[in-house]
Structure 1
């Protein structure tokens, strides 16, 4: 298949450039705001509209700080030890999903403790809203022609600019569909069925870990890291704890708490 040559820049006025990737993040946060409001009413989470804005602000801090710190620690620690000021250069790229998730957990927990909100139910709402941003973010990766897959002879393989002459898996679209579309549909269904608090959150941990682990088999590993133990990628190693947390958490919630 032919890779659609989409200009990463939507439009530019002088030095100001509006990019598709940035727009995807903006749309993800806007959609998250309205979905959190909706789910708060549906699940009877005592949070007013102003509180939703405050919670989202905490989460944005968690995504930025945790995502950057996670990338530094997991993906290129030696470089940043030699160039510590580059840690602040977030505009140059380099964010880790697993680090961002950890950051959101920390900052959202602080918010819940301050506002005396139920931790598990709040986590259920947040991870459901996050799936939209995950899907849009992967579409942004696809438009940028980055994070492509491994070489393939499948009929839907694409030749990405800068990735050589051979067709590759459009792994960004696989992740957009699984981490965005499928996860959102399942988690939203859990909310509609009013499953016990914790089921959506731990299901997110389990399923994201499984989806990411599977897609990593066709995604090109980071060039400066390559393959690790047993030909595993960094993404796979970081996803295994999520699968374990999801399994243990679901067992605890379903066996010990049941339904609302």
Structure 2
């Protein structure tokens, strides 16, 4: 993660403790994520990757330490926060009775996207389910529903994109497309925070990685992180 001014900082944590109730799931987290950067979160199953993401998104309160997004304390009820932060977690959630395209158009319009239909059609094409635009989400395959879930993050405005293991249920070709989308995201000045087990996704994005563990949480280079994932972390 490159050096930059204070105004470039999108996510900053200091001694952040995450968990449930009063039970901490990993060692405290210190990180700085700036505009134009991506950061992977890696670790063994159950190490706290998703918990870190949920805390950054304001879905869980921190147990200790500090977390700020865009220079403010996290508050997912804040309209400015919701307008700037797009989170895609591992939970399918759709508007009942709406087709794939209608679901995305409603999402885009809800966030004030101009020409929502055009934006949605472009994203549907990129994620490879344009031909399923008139299909109800329940009729999609597992992989197609995953693409729809990812599309819901890409059809809305955002300064920070948070993804929880976005590679799940995607084939190799779509994983490469996802890596390109994340590179494009940072190239336009956005910030990306994502949890992953996928060495290829990490290598193709070139992201450094936050390793979360019970004994110590620390930031690794992309090469160091890829070696750990290749070894079966």
TM-score, with normalisation over the residues of structure 2? 0.29
Task: Point out the structure with the larger strand share.
Answer: 2
Higher relative contact order structure (alpha carbons within 8 Å, sequence separation ≥ 6): 2
